[in-house]
Amino acid sequence: MTETPLVHLNQVVLAFAGKPVLNGVELKIFPQDRLVILGQSGGGKSTMLRLILGILKPSGGEIKYKHLRVSRLSRSKLNLLRSRIGMVYQYSALISSLNVRANLALPVRELGRKSESDIDKLVEEKLAMVGMSGTEDKMPSELSGGMRKRVSLARALMLDPELVLFDEPSAGLDPVMSSVIDELIINLTEKTNTTSVIVTHEMDSAFRIATRMAMLYQGSIIQEGKPEDFKSSDHPVVRQFVTGEVEGPMTESLPDADNT
Amino acid sequence: MASNRLDSFPARPNKYGLLYRIGFLTRNALVNLGSIIWLLLNTAEEMADNVRRGRLPFRPSALFVQTDRTAVGSVPLVLMVSFFLGLTMALLTGYQLEKFGVERLIPSLIAIAFTRELGPLITGIVLAARIGAAFTAELGTMQVAEEVEAIEAMGIGPLRFLVAPRLVAIVGAMPCLSVCSVIAALIGSCLISWVTLNIVPAFFFDSVLSSLLVNDIVIGFFKAAFFGLVIGLIACFKGLTVQGGAEGVGRATTGSVVIAITSVIGFDSLFNVIVTQYTK
Ligand SMILES: Nc1ncnc2c1ncn2[C@@H]1O[C@H](COP(=O)(O)OP(=O)(O)OP(=O)(O)O)[C@@H](O)[C@H]1O
Ligand SMILES: [Mg+2]
């Protein structure tokens, strides 16, 4: 692994109001990876994605994007960097006062220099990619949760980003749509050389997508490597997570978590 | 943990002492004032960033939308409030001045009071309630639904995208609405003076024109624009800093209206004290 990483989380520490969430996370994301991040609910996975985007600043360690230190960038440089990263939010985060077309057009209108007719074409193209053609004039409130998710995915792809962060892309989707999204994520890296980071709880789709996996547990990465390594992991926590058993170190530590 | 906190409760009575509270409130006020100035500077910086890249600071259509609701939408309410206020003022002062036989002073009194003072003030109060509340509620709801963060994550500066058009709209709208307010008040007072005091409209407007100084008009204009800035900044600040879901949005909206109206009245008094000191 002499390749330079696209993103490097270097001993990242983050605490919310004194409560540590990330505790020295060390993770490298390489170009064209499809990195799946596993971890418990409330374990800090969404927080990690926010750190990569520079929305949260680490209290220790640093995050590098290529050679740039994310937390030290000026505002305009940071905005430029963010426009090269697509983010699919866990709860979609579509602008509720804009219809689907305007939501998708937003990043291009604000940051690009395309004409309105080109934008319209692009909107149609990206909506077709996520199987949502014909919904251009709907408001987000008229869509189901899963449909919103897909629109949000289309929005993240509008500027043809080099890195896409997916926060639970297939949560709330039916199995067929979930496979469609998985397929889309795989195509994205294979056809356009995009790198993706996917946070997910669904082990089937995790193993279908991943070229690499990382497991976040109690604030740090406890295992990182190929999907096969995860299937045959000796680490009790990883094994419990992958097989979804009730008995194991994760459930034993639950009462502990309540006390703190 | 919780019981520990309860145990130490009576051990810190100072927290409720007068001095502590004054200090606490002052510090809070200063922190908020600092944050609001920070908001203004950062909005300006984000706009400048865009200009440096050869783009407009925000899309004109965003400004049209905001101006339409802020200015055009507020015209009826401003007109109505000012009309009746002017009418009442003329009526009340008329009865007093009539005793001394100087009711012909009413036109100049109303004209000066409204251009310099009541026009911007009434408009400010109306806009704080009507538009400031709306700004806070909208931005607050967007903040709670992670929409503001999503905009930030796309690399679109949320301040120039959300705050700037609203600020520009309200700063532009205030002087115009203030003019509407003055005109409505003059019409209201003119009508009531004609009916109750037999002052004919021709005389009324003649003495309005002869009593008004350019100075009064300019002062009123700037005051109105400044109030607009104050209301807009407070409303946007309150909206973007909402915490605690739907209830938080409600609390922020109430807070925004209360603080904006208080600040407008406060700045107005300060302004008057300073201006009368230096323009005597
Ligand atoms: N803005 C915030 N202020 C305070 N605490 C926060 C904030 N955001 C997240 N946290 C805390 O940080 C921890 C991690 O949150 P995060 O959203 O990253 O979890 P997650 O791994 O994405 O969980 P899930 O799988 O349920 O989405 C949680 O304990 C949460 O309470
Ligand atoms: Mg999450």
Q: Residue B4: pLDDT above 60?
A: no
Does the beta carbon of A200 sit less than 6 angstroms from any atom of ligand 1?
A: no
Question: For an interface test with A, which of B56, B135, B154 has the most A Cβ atoms less than 10 Å from its Cβ?
Answer: B154
Confidence of residue B6 (pLDDT cuts 50, 70, 90): very low
Tell me the sheet residues that pair with A195. Answer: A163
Residue found by looking up tokens 């009826």 in the block: B76
Percent of chain A exceeding pLDDT 90 equals 63
pLDDT in tens, B38-86: 999 999 999 999 899 888 999 899 999 999 999 999 999 999 999 999 9
- Going by C-alpha positions, the residue among A84, A52, A21, A10 that lies closest to residue A197 is A52
Q: Are A100 and A138 in contact (CB under 8 A)?
A: yes
Any idea where the domains of chain A sit in the sequence? 1-47+66-82+162-250, 97-161
Any idea where the domains of chain B sit in the sequence? 60-278
Q: Are A189 and A222 in contact (CB under 8 A)?
A: no
Q: Residue A247: pLDDT above 90?
A: no
Q: Helix, strand, coil proportions of chain B in percent (round to 5)?
A: 90, 0, 10
Does the beta carbon of A46 sit less than 6 angstroms from any atom of ligand 1?
A: yes
Residues in chain B with CB shorter than 8 Å from the CB of A50 are 149
Q: What angle do CA B72, B75, B80 make, to 5 degrees?
A: 165
Mean pLDDT of chain B: 90
Pairing of strands A212-217, A34-39: parallel
Residue B55 CB partners (closer than 8 Å, separation 6+):
none
Q: Are B136 and B252 in contact (CB under 8 A)?
A: yes
Coil, strand or helix: which one is A16? strand
Compute the average pLDDT of residues A174-178. Answer: 86
Which CATH fold would you assign to the domain A1-47+66-82+162-250? Rossmann fold (3.40.50)
- At residue B113, what are phi and psi to the nearest 5 degrees? -60, -40
Q: Residue A72: pLDDT above 50?
A: yes
Tell if the CB–CB gap between B46 and A75 is shorter than 8 Å: yes
By CB neighbour count within 10 A (0-12 exposed, 13-18 middle, 19+ buried), where does B161 fall?
buried
Compute the average pLDDT of residues B212-222. Answer: 89
Element (H, E) at A22: strand A19-29
Tell if the CB–CB gap between A79 and B155 is shorter than 8 Å: yes
**Size of chain A in residues:** 260
- What whole-number distance in Å separates Cα of residue B11 and Cα of residue A40? 40
As given in the structure block, the two tokens for residue B7 are 């145990």
pLDDT in tens, B105-147: 999 999 999 998 899 999 999 999 999 999 999 999 999 999 9
Q: How far does B41 lie from chain A, in Å, by closest CA? A: 13
Compute the average pLDDT of residues A164-191. Answer: 87
Worst-scoring range by mean pLDDT, B79-93, B104-118, B233-247, B251-265? B104-118
Q: DSSP string of B34-48?
A: HHHHHHHHHHHHHHH
Crossing angle of helices A145-157/A100-111, nearest 10°?
Answer: 20
Q: What is the pLDDT of residue A2?
A: 61
Compute the average pLDDT of residues B232-240. Answer: 97
As given in the structure block, the two tokens for residue B217 are 């008009």
Residues in chain A with CB shorter than 8 Å from the CB of B153 are 53, 55, 82, 85, 87
Confidence of residue B274 (pLDDT cuts 50, 70, 90): confident
Whole-number Å distance, alpha carbon A14 to ligand 1 midpoint, is 11
- What whole-number distance in Å separates Cα of residue A200 and Cα of residue B146? 20
As given in the structure block, the two tokens for residue A160 are 């043809």
pLDDT in tens, A75-117: 889 999 999 999 999 889 999 999 999 999 999 999 988 999 9
pLDDT in tens, A204-223: 889 999 999 999 999 999 99
Pairing of strands A85-88, A163-167: parallel
Whole-number Å distance, alpha carbon A41 to ligand 2 midpoint, is 7
Count how many Cα atoms sit within 13 Å of the Cα of residue B273 in the half-sphere of its side chain.
6
Distances from the Cα of A250 to the Cα of A25, A41, A198, A256, angstroms: 19, 11, 22, 10
**Among partner residues B53, B147, B156, which is closest to A96 by beta-carbon distance?**
B147
